[in-house]
Amino acid sequence: MQEEAKYWYLHDHQLFSVLSREENRALCLIPNFKTVKKNEILYFSHDDEQRLYTIKSGTLKIILVDAEGNETVKEILRSGDLFGQYTFDEMNENEDEYAVAVSDKVVICSFKQNDFENIVKKNPQLAIRYTKLVGFKLKRISNNYTNLMFKDVRTRFALFLKDWAIKEGNGQTKNIVVKNYLTHNDIAGLICSTRQTVTLLFNELKNAGLIDYTRSEIIVKDVHQLA
Asked if pLDDT for residue 93 goes beyond 70, the answer is: no
- Nearest 5°: phi and psi at 47? -60, 145
For the chain, the domains span 3-149, 151-225
Quick one: pLDDT at residue 141? 82
Among 39-43, 45-49, 128-132, 195-199, the least confident range: 45-49
pLDDT at 1 over 80: no
- What proportion of the chain, given as a percentage, has pLDDT over 70? 96
Query: CA-CA distances (angstroms) from residue 137 to 2, 56, 88?
Result: 30, 17, 15
Residue 66 CB: number of other CB atoms within 10 A?
A: 10
Q: Are 18 and 125 in contact (CB under 8 A)?
A: yes
Instruction: Return the pLDDT at 11.
Output: 85
CATH (one of 1.10.10.10, 3.20.20.80, 3.20.20.70, 3.50.50.60) for 151-225: 1.10.10.10
Separation between Cα atoms, residue 210 and residue 193, nearest integer Å: 21
DSSP letter, residue 2: -
Q: What is the mean pLDDT of residues 210-215?
A: 93
From residue 64, alpha-carbon distances to 68, 72, 87, 180 in Å are 11, 5, 18, 21
Contact between 110 and 31 (Cβ < 8 Å): yes
Domain boundaries 3-149, corresponding CATH code = 2.60.120.10
Where residue 106 falls among pLDDT bands split at 50, 70, 90? very high
pLDDT tens digits, residue range 70-89?
899 999 999 999 998 876 55
Q: Of the given ranges (10-14, 90-94, 130-134, 163-167), which has the lowest mean pLDDT?
A: 90-94
Q: Looking at beta carbons, which pairs linking 3-12 to residues 24 or more positions away fall under 8 Å? A: 3/28, 6/31, 6/33, 6/109, 9/56, 9/109, 10/109
Average pLDDT score over the chain: 90
151-225 and 3-149 share a CATH fold: no
Q: Give per-residue burial for 17-43: e unless 16+ CB within 10 Å, then b.
A: ebbeeebbeebbebbeebebeeeeebb
Give tens-digit pLDDT for 18-73. 889 888 888 888 889 999 999 999 888 888 888 999 999 999 999 999 889 889 99
Q: What is the mean pLDDT of residues 158-184?
A: 91
More confident residue, 41 or 143: 41
What is each CA distance from 163 to 51, 58, 159, 170, 217, in whole angstroms? 28, 17, 6, 12, 16
pLDDT of residue 92: 52
